[in-house]
Structure 1
Amino acid sequence: MKMKSARIHAFGEPSVIRHDEVPRPRPLAGEVLVRVAATSFNPTEAALRAGLLQGFLPVTLPYTPGWDVAGTVAEVGPDTEGFAIGDRVVGRLDGAGAAAEYVAAPGAVLVPAPTSVPLEHAAALPVAGLTAWQAVFEHGKVTAGQRVLVNGAGGGVGGFVTQLAKHAGAEVIATAGPRSTRVVLRHGADHVVDYTSTSLTAALDRPVDTVLNLVPLPPHDASALVSAVRPGGRIVSIATPVEPPAESGVSSLHMVARNDVTHLAALVELVDMGKLAFDISASRPLADLADVHRLSEAGRMRGKVVLIP
């Protein structure tokens, strides 16, 4: 049987993405076949498509993107326990492949999907949610009563970071552009700094305990982040590494999120408790994937975009 799949045939501009008819995969031992309800776009996928990550995350062409998957189990592979046909699941696929009508996924990376939101919206959760969870709790060690600066709160990861930091009991100061301010406030930010018109130095009345940095930074802006943190505080960055001078007394960590189904299940639980909301800025057909890449590279994307086969 055949299915439609978006595939990258060469590294380059978004036009290298093609939509092919390929054989539908069969699940191997330990896998299930997922009928994809949606995947979601992550900005790192644009860098991968351009060939910028081959030294860090090498892939073989042709390559099917789509790290996030939400869908229903269509077939259960041999020696795969805990799944039944029709189960609604969500997960992060480190080998990617969800930008297709079906994907064979390891059962070990899937958890039951949230029941309180449309299944296609759940595709926005795995990569961004896991990154946010580990930034806030594992590396940022955010606790009640702390002052936390979320730099880049208007993006897909930023929305989850803001909500999780607030859920931890922190006072949250968030940087965001005018297009994102209303959503960031709805996600629980106590204060929003418009980075297009106000400097952090002018906006902060006193230093924060923790900075969670989600955006690439030139050296000057990285220095401004260091000055925003109290001595003994910390910076966690998922983008540009920030290197504070020793005399600042500020520690810094550059993180890469890992796949962790325990964390993903905890995120799903928060969604179903009504304590974690999605910022879905658009639902687009998978055929629009190249256009979504172009929008991202032009800096014209807010929140998460889900793509429906």
Structure 2
Amino acid sequence: MLGVVATALGGPEVLQVTELPDPEAGPGQVVVRIRAVCVHPADVASTTGEIPRGPVPTPFSPGWDIAGEVASVGPGTAEFAVGDRVVGMIPWYLTRGNPGGYAEFVAADTDWLVPLPDGVDFAAASTVPLNAQTAQQGLALVSLAMLPAGSSILVTGASGGVGGFATQLALQSGFRVLAQAGHDDEQWVRDLGAHEVVSRSADLAAVGPVSAVFDAIPLGEAAAAAVEDRGIVVTTRPTPPIVPARGVRQELQLIRHDHELLAVLVGQVAAGQLRTRVAATMPLTEAADAHRRVLAGGLHGKIVLTTG
């Protein structure tokens, strides 16, 4: 099969298309014929070594979120059958690229996967697992603060994958949502239902005070300036500690795979209760160019790699 591996640490040029052995499904596994794999900033960071717990030894395959069809089933595996449509998240923080999703096939634990309803196409489905789970789990940290009903929350990066889902899920939870949009992307954020859209160039200290900040970019101290005394800030990557004088609680949200949560979120996408978007699809063999587009920024949606 064809796959894409990082042969060294560096920029997009380290991604090489190569022939890899066809995977075989072990007990509790299925082989997924990958139709779509989402390109995340985390994939780009993996090739440069800028990820939590340090660089991964090369060669490795990037890729967290996959969607496709079951091609074969391992011994004693009854959760799926050949031909089933599935979507899932390779827990890359555990596999460290062995396997990764940049391939035509992958042997996946059944717990990584959930059924994919017919009404959701593969490309859109592949944008859901990592981003939506991170958003919901981050909001669960906010809920621990026991904020009053209708409290305000600022979501940074609301035009992006995690921020877009966080905006929608915060609205579902009854928050008054102020959402920071990227340049020329304000309408998308308004359409998600945000109560107020904040410009990317706005001084966030003048936006608040809000009860909570979901810092999906993250901006760190600049976003924390919007939160009220004894409020809460949740970030999606490590940031410097916030000055503690105001009693602001700081939480770090790093993804952990939750099979049941993923099934719920995919169901919401299928029902039209959560929106996602794809900026462009590109062949798997153009993974290096896809990384260049992510690094260039300005995307309105996710880049998705597809196979034939």
TM-score relative to the length of structure 1: 0.91
Question: Equivalent residue of 1:124, what SS?
Answer: coil
Return closer, same or farther for 1:281/1:108 CA change in 2, 3 Å cut-off.
Answer: same
Q: 2:65 aligns with which of 56, 68, 86?
A: 68
Cα distance in 1 between the residues matched to 2:210 and 2:171: 14
Aligned counterpart, 2:252:
254
- Give 1:182's aligned amino acid: Q
Is 1:183 aligned with 2:188?
yes
Return closer, same or farther for 1:120/1:237 CA change in 2, 3 Å cut-off.
Answer: same
Q: 1:107 aligns with which of 98, 106, 110?
A: 110
Question: Equivalent residue of 1:103, what SS?
Answer: strand
Question: Equivalent residue of 2:154, what SS?
Answer: strand
Equivalences for residues 68-107 of structure 1 within 5 A: 68-94=65-91, 95=95, 96-107=99-110
Query: What RMSD, in angstroms, separates the aligned Cα atoms of the two structures?
Result: 1.8
Structure 1 position 242, deviation (Å): 5.1
Cα distance in 2 between the residues matched to 1:109 and 1:223: 35
Conserved? CA contact 1:151–1:214, under 8 Å? yes
Q: 2:16 aligns with which of 8, 15, 18?
A: 18
Return closer, same or farther for 1:97/1:244 CA change in 2, 3 Å cut-off.
Answer: closer
Conserved? CA contact 1:242–1:253, under 8 Å? no
Conserved? CA contact 1:114–1:271, under 8 Å? no
Cα distance in 2 between the residues matched to 1:125 and 1:8: 24
Equivalences for residues 23-62 of structure 1 within 5 A: 23-53=21-51, 56=53, 58-62=55-59
Question: Equivalent residue of 1:157, what SS?
Answer: helix
Conserved? CA contact 2:123–2:278, under 8 Å? no
Give the number of equivalent residue pairs.
Answer: 298
- Give 2:31's aligned amino acid: L
Greater shift, 258-267 or 56-65, is seen at 56-65
Structure 1 position 116, deviation (Å): 2.5
Unaligned stretches of 5+ residues in structure 2: none
Conserved? CA contact 2:9–2:48, under 8 Å? yes
Structure 1 position 239, deviation (Å): 2.4
Aligned counterpart, 1:152:
157
Conserved? CA contact 1:173–1:189, under 8 Å? yes
Structure 1 position 247, deviation (Å): 2.5
Q: 1:232 aligns with which of 230, 235, 240?
A: 230
Cα distance in 1 between the residues matched to 2:238 and 2:292: 22
Aligned counterpart, 1:125:
128
Q: 1:201 aligns with which of 194, 202, 205?
A: 205
What percentage of aligned pairs have identical amino acids? 39
Structure 1 position 52, deviation (Å): 2.9
Unaligned stretches of 5+ residues in structure 1: none
Structure 1 position 240, deviation (Å): 4.1
Return closer, same or farther for 1:9/1:207 CA change in 2, 3 Å cut-off.
Answer: same
Structure 1 position 58, deviation (Å): 4.8
Structure 1 segments of 4 or more deviating over 4 A?
A: none
Structure 1 position 143, deviation (Å): 7.4
- Give 2:246's aligned amino acid: S
Is 1:297 aligned with 2:301?
no
Cα distance in 1 between the residues matched to 2:264 and 2:55: 30
